[in-house]
Copies of this chain bind each other. A is one copy, B any other.
């Protein structure tokens, strides 16, 4: 099943408006085991005609957004009918719905809105409880025309999303057939790079019959996506976990922070943060996860040396002797946070985000991390992420959360 998306709207190409439809459709279809073969954006008006004619030859299913409004550059309905050689007629049901939309709001209906009740012969009207533009569905081989099934959908999300769920999903299921739906799996890894996968298991993955796979590299993270039959998926998963299992964050798309919160909740453990160079990012990521309050109570952003001393009891002499970016200070921060919070674990980070402040021995990008435990033991790690300030923060926060993740996995 080759599915394409056509988003229409000049504003999507001027940079004023972010096109969120592409990824939204991707998520909806992915959840049904379907994939988008291509997504195209064109301006309002005649540009739609060219793109539409090309796609209906190529695709099995086309989802079009936008251009169903009442104004002069809303031409999708007319272009689709003309291209397929279909007559437009006024649809009684669509007209009644339009009239009641305006009546409900106590507004007069403009003559321009009458165009929105025009429907190509053989098309089905899809209700829009949230706006004036009804959707349209043109089944495959409508009046002997294209093999491609075409959905005409409104652009605004509040109109599009419910119509998609109520009207499009059931038709897509029927069109795509259950047997054709492939299984999908997303495995997230940290602490290794995309090239490690390439050297390690790429060749073996390519040999699994019926398996499609791809990587997405983020900062401090690689996502491996597997698509195929359940057997192919199991084989791919097995290869990845055999080589890189200890780097696995999740096999269900969960983020590192969500995984850490889940592990802590499962074990009824709590966690505190003592951040310098990450400036609160670790705490902020953790608190993005619903239920974080069960496991996270205290966080400190001790950006200044005085704050490290007064809030976390790091001795000033230690900072003067070893420097704020040192293993000793990282340990003292984590242990101070553990003490002050009463949590089971405390993680600390101290580093040089840049752009200034680096030295020959401690260049910009250097950070020391520590993980203190109630049991008394403290782990440390030195990392080097020479990146832009924001990317450095993200990479260091990833390293810090991963120390805790590894510790929690080991403990089970």
Contacts and interface: CB of A to CB of B under 8 A. Distances in A.
Interface of A: 9-20, 22-30, 35-45, 47, 51, 54, 69-73, 104-105, 110, 112-113, 156, 158, 186, 194-195, 197-199, 202, 206, 214-217, 223, 225, 253, 273, 275, 277-284, 286-288, 290, 292-293, 296-304, 306-307, 310-311, 340-341, 353-356, 384, 386-391, 393
Given A10-B214, A223-B11, A284 B393 contact: yes
B299 A195 contact: no
B288 A296 contact: no
20 contacts: A11-B225, A12-B23, A13-B37, A14-B27, A14-B225, A15-B23, A15-B29, A16-B225, A19-B19, A37-B43, A71-B197, A72-B198, A105-B386, A158-B388, A273-B301, A280-B282, A281-B284, A283-B284, A293-B303, A298-B301
Given A287-B280, A288-B279, A35 B22 contact: no
A353 to B, nearest CB: 8
A24 B290 CA distance: 31
Contact of A298 (B41, B72, B307): B307
A216 B389 CA distance: 25
The 6 closest A-B pairs by CB, nearest first: A279-B287, A15-B27, A299-B301, A280-B283, A280-B280, A15-B26
Contacts of A29: 15
Contact of A198 (B28, B38, B70, B297): B70
Contacts of A354: 290
A285 to B, nearest CB: 8
Given A113-B195, A279-B287, A388-B158, A214 B44 contact: yes
Contact of A280 (B113, B194, B299): B299
Given A71-B215, A195-B110, A47 B37 contact: yes
Given A202-B71, A297-B304, A22 B12 contact: yes
Given A39-B13, A223-B11, A389 B22 contact: no
A70 to B, nearest CB: 6
A273 B275 CA distance: 13
A199 B71 CA distance: 9
Contact of A73 (B40, B214, B390): B214
A284 B278 contact: yes
The count of identical subunits is 2
A45 to B, nearest CB: 8
Given A26-B12, A26-B13, A301 B279 contact: no
A36 B22 contact: no
Contacts of A298: 301-304, 307, 311
A386 B23 CA distance: 23
A199 B281 CA distance: 38
Contacts of A26: 12-16
A225 to B, nearest CB: 7
A214 B14 contact: yes
A91 to B, nearest CB: 20
A384 B11 CA distance: 28
Given A198-B112, A288-B393, A290-B355, A30 B51 contact: no
A98 to B, nearest CB: 12
A318 to B, nearest CB: 18
B194 A69 contact: yes
A195 B71 contact: yes
B194 A71 contact: yes
A54 B53 CA distance: 13
Nearest to A39: B41
Given A18-B18, A35-B43, A38-B40, 6 more contacts: A15-B214, A16-B26, A279-B283, A284-B393, A307-B341, A311-B311
